Homo-oligomer: A and B are copies of this chain.
């Protein structure tokens, strides 16, 4: 594996999960592997878990993490080809990516979507520009349309907590006041499609994710129907895909409650808005796996970095 940009870069999810679990048992086993190698973490957007867990993962491998807030610390970056750069951007991605590649052995990038320009977002302009112009491997720390480190984390967490060979997993939309990206939802769908699970998506009408992602995964417009006999309920808000980036619905009936959840485990990538997405009673119960998920972020990132280093 050269880059880790999407769930499709996982050749065998079952094997990856087992390897991540082994890393978790012995996080410092490969502490010599990344010695004197640097990981550049480039943030175009805010981050808490990704920022810390990816640094921790790098440290566990003996790497030196170098963090940069691209917008605040450096120069405005131009992504269009052929532009006369007489506006707000001061440096072209062609140079930026090639330059960072001189100092970092792996580049990890976070760049959220516009949510106003579907074509641009789906082109994954920023991530793909780094892949194209960097001379070193690139890791996706959440791009316009995917968050594969999160989805790998989620797959590990489900594998750790399932009591069945083939658990029922639901991805449920929940209400939010802001227009949020589809990235986490998309990658979770793709990960579940690779897993041996009984998988269904619940969202209001007008909120179906891209059909190129959901493919033949069943989509229902009723949480009640979807949650029946569920073992894991993975909750996330996203804005409309069809009416791109719009907030069409903030119906509190879609908020996750303890009653709705029943015995199912609750999952969320965080940050989560309490009592908007999910009521306190769920997050504060033993059925919530959100902290365990956050912990697994380290081992998902560490596995990805390890595979890249071993390939290098």
**A115 close to chain B: CB less than 8 A:** no
Q: List 12 A-B contacts (CB under 8 A).
A: A46-B75, A51-B74, A53-B102, A85-B273, A85-B276, A91-B272, A92-B283, A95-B272, A95-B283, A95-B294, A96-B271, A98-B294
Given A72-B72, A90-B271, A291-B98, are A38 and B56 also a contact pair (CB < 8 Å)?
yes
B40 contacts A52, C-beta separation under 8 Å: yes
Contact of A84 among B47, B276, B298 (CB under 8 A): B276
A273 contacts B86, C-beta separation under 8 Å: yes
Chain B residues, Cβ within 8 Å of A273:
85-86, 89-91
B46 contacts A86, C-beta separation under 8 Å: no
Chain B residues, Cβ within 8 Å of A56:
38, 66, 103-104
Contact of A94 among B94, B95, B103, B283 (CB under 8 A): B283
**A270 close to chain B: CB less than 8 A:** yes
Contact of A275 among B84, B94, B271 (CB under 8 A): B84
B66 contacts A55, C-beta separation under 8 Å: yes
Q: State the oligomeric state as a number of copies.
A: 3
Chain B residues, Cβ within 8 Å of A82:
275, 280
A84–B276 Cα gap in the complex (Å)? 6
**A64 close to chain B: CB less than 8 A:** yes
Chain B residues, Cβ within 8 Å of A270:
91, 95, 99
A222–B175 Cα gap in the complex (Å)? 61
Residues 92-112 of A, flagged 1 when their CB comes within 8 A of B and 0 if not, give: 101110111011100000000
In the complex, residue of chain B having the shortest beta-carbon distance to the beta carbon of A99: B294
**A31 close to chain B: CB less than 8 A:** yes
**A177 close to chain B: CB less than 8 A:** yes
